[in-house]
Amino acid sequence: MSFALIQKVNDEQKKAQVVDARSGDTVRVHQKIKEGNKERIQIFEGVVIRTDNKGQHTSRITVRKIASGVGVEKSFLLHSPLVEKVEIVRRAKVRRNFLSFLRNRSGKSARLAAVQFDREAVNAVVDKHAEEEEARLKEEAKAEAEAKAAEKAAEQAELEAKQKAVEEAHKANG
């Protein structure tokens, strides 16, 4: 296999544009989760403690958050089709790439000094495929809700018909 062929396959797997997430950023990652035959979007919000392989198709961020008093770390491949969107909420001043020291800290000592940044410009990443996928998921949810409502209405009509039949039977007997 030639390197050019491998490079071509890797470039096809890449998203057109991803957010420039840096260490110290507080990000909100929208991840697609499949449960049985249903799909939903789960949001994971935390501090980026590590970035890897930034310019490549395997670029990855490690996000840490505190959930119920327990530290939770999750790694996300930025070009993965399961990662719908990465939104930068807050940017902080840090002087290293791997913020492992945050693991030993909690509460006020784990705070990072915030830096002013243009949130709209940083998060302005247009991914047509992700938008289409989000619209499709919303459409599916809407269709499912309509089907459920129609089923409920049919069930209610059936109950009312049974009730009328019972009332007529009582009138005939009484």
Give the domain CATH number at 22: 2.30.30.790
Q: In whole angstroms, give the CA distance from residue 112 to residue 31.
A: 25
Tell me if 21 sits within 8 A of 86, measured CB to CB.
Answer: yes
Of 96, 85, 86, the closest CA to residue 137 belongs to 85
Tell me if 82 sits within 8 A of 31, measured CB to CB.
Answer: yes
**Locus of tokens 């959930």:** 67
pLDDT-wise least confident of 3-7, 12-16, 109-113, 128-132: 12-16
Mean pLDDT in residue range 125-132: 71
Together in a domain, 112 and 135? no
Of 51, 103, 99, 40, the closest CA to residue 76 belongs to 51
Mean pLDDT in residue range 126-148: 81
Together in a domain, 121 and 163? no
Together in a domain, 114 and 62? yes
Q: Into how many domains does the chain fold?
A: 2
Banded model confidence at residue 152, pLDDT cuts 50, 70, 90: very high
pLDDT at 85: 81
What tokens appear for 141 in the block?
A: 């949810």
Together in a domain, 54 and 138? no
Together in a domain, 50 and 79? yes
Together in a domain, 143 and 120? no
Tell me if 133 sits within 8 A of 81, measured CB to CB.
Answer: no
Q: Is the pLDDT of residue 126 over 70?
A: no
Together in a domain, 118 and 131? no
Together in a domain, 105 and 136? no
Banded model confidence at residue 130, pLDDT cuts 50, 70, 90: low
pLDDT digits (tens, 9 = 90+) for 67-119: 888 888 888 888 888 888 888 888 888 888 888 887 787 778 877 777 777 76
Together in a domain, 106 and 166? no
Strands 38-52 and 114-115: unpaired
Tell me if 44 sits within 8 A of 61, measured CB to CB.
Answer: no
Together in a domain, 143 and 88? no
**Domain around 165:** 127-174
The separation between the first and the last C-alpha atoms of the chain, rounded to the nearest angstrom, is 89
Together in a domain, 160 and 116? no
pTM confidence score: 0.62
Q: Which of 88, 111, 126 is the last residue of a domain?
A: 126
pLDDT at 91: 86
pLDDT digits (tens, 9 = 90+) for 12-45: 766 666 777 778 888 898 888 888 888 888 899 9
Together in a domain, 39 and 104? yes
